[in-house]
Amino acid sequence: MLIVAKIGSTSLTDAEGEVDVSAVGHLCDQVASLRAQGHLVVIVTSGAVIAGLSALRAAGRLAGEGRPRDLQMLQAASAVGQSRLMGVYEGQLRQRSLVAGQVLLTFGDFVDRSRYLNARRTFSHLLDLGAVPIVNENDAVADEEIRFGDNDRLAALVANLLGADLLVLLTDTAGLLDYASHFDGEATLIEEVIEIDHEIENLAVDSANGIGSGGMLSKLAAAKMASWSGVRVVIAAANRSQVLEDAVAMTPGVGTIVHPRPREQRIGARKLWIAFALGASGKVIVDAGAHAALVKNGGSLLAAGVLGAKGAFDAGDAVEIAGPDETVFAKGLVRIGVDSLRRWAGLRTAELPRDVPSEVVHRDDMVIMV
């Protein structure tokens, strides 16, 4: 079995904000155990920024506490902290007779076909050599507009890239909790989720501690991405004893298990990114005929079916696609800017100027969300 295990900053740092060596050791113990059983494990880790901030403050190069908001400062902290974080992993894995292999990824590694295939080959070779890939976003160079935002989504994309059997999202809670089910304030662990819908998403409470960049909402978004690509997901507590082995065995109570979608409903990495990782710059409203054609037939959106557009978007931006009642049912990359779309909305292909794309959103760039 191929397992992708993601661990976040809150599960990797101690009370002083330092990387917790014992927490990394706990994870590496389980990786070594799974490797001894014949499983392959890839770790997606956060913590470079935290490690860098700690080092810069210790050296007197940075004042204040908490996580800065300035992107350049975060990039600099990541550059300082990444080697320190990898040093902890390398040391802990070496003590268990394992070799760590660093893999830093950016958005382009998932949308460019040649880079996508090269990344997959790199992972394959590392695993064939018996190394444990340690994955992080390349924060030091990632542009603000194309950052993953958190490593939960990165982990889901890696799981899709590798065709993983299991994605384990390790966090500081037992899993997805339902606080509303008990009047006495005790939360109930939701042990199994067949489909992540709005009701499930409404149970999530995002992280407010200022350390990590994700939270339970991020975990659910990543779990939806993975499940849509056919990967089983477990959201579980990082400090649970043998949590990875229990996730592999689907031990009752290990955390929240999110089941993969049926094979005929799964989508690939590029559409995963469009659906879940790209922010929408606007909304395109279509008529009932276009709505039915897109949902039932999987066609492209033509200008003739467009009623209007909202927001400010250019060609190549991601937009939501909504029916006449403005209920969103799809998302895609638009091929025409908002001003031109408003001008040509409702016209048939033969009525459009030659330089205006007849397909507002091509079916290859569209994901039906319902």
Condensed to tens digits (0 to 9), the pLDDT of residues 154-201 reads: 999 999 999 999 999 999 899 999 876 655 557 889 999 999 888 888
Q: How confident is the model at residue 209 (pLDDT cuts 50, 70, 90)?
A: very low
Mean pLDDT, residues 341-356: 93
pLDDT number for residue 279: 83
Q: Residue 98 CA to chain centroid, in angstroms? A: 27
pLDDT number for residue 214: 52
Res. 69: pLDDT tops 80: no
Q: Which two tokens stand for residue 60?
A: 């007197």
Res. 275: pLDDT tops 70: yes
Q: Which two tokens stand for residue 342?
A: 């408003």
pLDDT number for residue 127: 97
pLDDT number for residue 365: 94
Torsional class of 367: left (φ above 0), alpha (ψ -120 to 50), beta (otherwise): beta
Res. 206: pLDDT tops 70: no
- What is the β-pairing status of strands 192-193 and 256-258? parallel
pLDDT number for residue 149: 55
Mean pLDDT, residues 279-298: 94
Residue 288: count of CB within 10 angstroms of its CB: 12
Mean pLDDT, residues 323-339: 96
Residues 6 or more apart whose Cβ sits within 8 Å of residue 317 = 281, 282, 333, 334
Percent of the chain with pLDDT over 90: 63
Angle in degrees, CA 270, 274, 278, rounded to 5: 130
pLDDT number for residue 174: 93
Residue ranges of domains in the chain, CATH in brackets: 2-270 (3.40.1160.10), 280-368 (2.30.130.10)
Stated pTM of the model: 0.85
pLDDT number for residue 166: 98
pLDDT number for residue 110: 82
Q: Look at residues 192, 150, 155, 153 and name the one whose alpha carbon lies nearest to residue 175.
A: 192
